[in-house]
Amino acid sequence: MKKLLFGITLLVMTVNFSCKKDNDEAGEKPKTIEVEYKIDRPNPYFVEISYSNEANNMITLRDITELSNGSKTISITKRPYTAKLTTILNNTSNQKINYNLIILVDGEIKKVSPVDAPPGVNGVTSTVQFTID
């Protein structure tokens, strides 16, 4: 009888311990991922810059100086997440303007979109997009 009682107690403890471990793993925080939006050659001809924020809503800036060195970094935890950067440029100069729209994830370049804005053209719209699973 003592062996049966000991065996049942051991079984209950084993089941209780393994369930507690499963609950602990389910309660782990999701991994935080750094997403950086970058314009490699910022210039004063940008009239609008939009990027998807932490909640995956588009944020619009009207002044390139709102991006530190042409860059904006956010932290996300929800996936899938679609990182998106869009620019609108009015090239009122008499020279072609070249730049790249770049998305980096945890410091690694994931997508690059080269842009050529012809001289004297307004409303040059460009987008780069990358989905994080």
Q: Specify the range with the lowest mean pLDDT, choosing from 9-18, 30-39, 72-81, 106-115.
A: 9-18
Same domain, 38 and 24: no
Same domain, residue pair 24 and 37? no
Clarify whether residues 47 and 87 are in a common domain.
Answer: yes
Residues 23, 4: one domain? Answer: yes
- Please tell me the distance from the alpha carbon of residue 87 to that of residue 104, in angstroms, as a whole number: 17
Please report the pLDDT score of residue 90 as a whole number.
97
**Of 19-23, 40-44, 64-68, 84-88, which gets the smallest average pLDDT?**
19-23
Answer whether residue 19 shows pLDDT above 60: no
Domain co-membership, 21 together with 38: no
Q: Which domain holds residue 11?
A: 1-28
- Number of domain units in the chain: 2
Strands 71-76 and 108-117: unpaired
Tell whether 63 and 123 lie within a shared domain: yes
Higher pLDDT residue, 24 or 25? 25
The domain that holds 78 is classified in CATH as 2.60.40
Residue 97: both structure tokens together? 């303007």
pTM: 0.78
pLDDT tens per residue across span 79-130: 999 999 999 999 999 999 999 999 999 999 999 999 999 999 999 999 999 9
DSSP for 22-68, written as a single string: HHHHHTPPPPPEEEEEEESS--TTEEEEEEE-TTS-EEEES-GGGSB
- One domain for residues 24 and 42: no
Residues 59 and 107 in one domain: yes
